[in-house]
Amino acid sequence: MKKNVYFVSGIDTNIGKSYATAYLAKTWNERGIRTITEKLIQTGNMDLSEDIELHRRIMGTGLLPEDKERLTMPEIYSYPCSPHLAAEIDKRPIDFGKIERATETLSERYDAVLLEGAGGLMVPLTRDLLTIDYVAQKQYPLVFVTSGRLGSINHTLLSLEAMSRRGIRLHTLAYNLFPEEDDEIIRRDTEAYMRDLLKRDYPEAEFVVVPFLGDK
């Protein structure tokens, strides 16, 4: 597999990770980097990944051939919960081999693959495997999504510390403005804090502000 797969995770569920993934794919494509998104494991759906559908709406592409081949949504489970429990409820173990074959195919076809996880960085994929440990095993650079909500600094610092202990490289810190936050004072200060943090401790990582693009 080419070294062009970037794992996208975030500080929590409902942090706007899918929105940020789609925005990055859109901007990378506009820069001439042929980029596709993939959902590692989709829960809460039946036949089609709602996150992939959101990606394509924001990217403005409609469903791609790879979506119809199921390469971008190799594992879908019906119950909206963490992957380990969703797999148990559906009585179907996660097929990591199928996921990795799909990722490898996308890696060969495109310049970059944004591989979006489910939930936060420490969400369990199985009873014995956390998302963060899967990322470390695959040595994927991490695109990490945070926000300006109260508590984001704490959750971001804890996640960065866990990443560093596992040798995961931070590629991008995506500061998500969607959904919009009510407290502008906290939002502005959190952004300034995150920018200073990256300059000091992660100088090779990119800081990206993900704007609110309107109702997609």
Question: Active-site residue numbers?
Answer: 39
| 41 annotated ligand binder | no
Q: Is 193 annotated as a binding residue?
A: no
60 is in an annotated binding site: no
Rounded Cα gap, residues 24 and 142, in angstroms: 13
DSSP class of residue 203 equals T
Find all residues with CB under 8 Å of 73, minimum gap 6, and list them. Answer: 38, 39, 42, 48, 49, 52, 67
Cβ contact 65:84 at 8 Å: no
Cβ-count burial of 165 within 10 angstroms (0-12 exposed, 13-18 middle, 19+ buried)? exposed
Q: What distance in Å separates the CA atoms of residue 115 and residue 21, rounded to the nearest whole number?
A: 8
State yes or no: 3 annotated in a binding site. no
15 annotated as ligand-binding: yes
Whether residue 119 is annotated as binding a ligand: the answer is yes
148 annotated as ligand-binding: no
Q: Would the annotation count 118 as a binding residue?
A: yes
| 11 assigned to a ligand binding site | no
Q: Which residues on adjacent β-strands are paired with residue 5?
A: 113
Contacts of 88 (CB under 8 A, 6+ apart): none
Q: What are residue 93's phi and psi, to 5 degrees?
A: -60, 150
Nearest-angstrom CA–CA distance, 181 and 165: 31
Q: Is 140 annotated as a binding residue?
A: no
Task: Give whole-number Cα distances, 143 to 6, 95, 130, 178, in Å.
Answer: 7, 24, 17, 16
Residues that constitute the known binding site for substrate = 43
Residue ranges for the known binding site are 14-19, 43, 51, 116-119
Report the binding-site residues for ATP: 14-19, 51, 116-119
Binding site for Mg(2+): residue ranges?
18, 51, 116
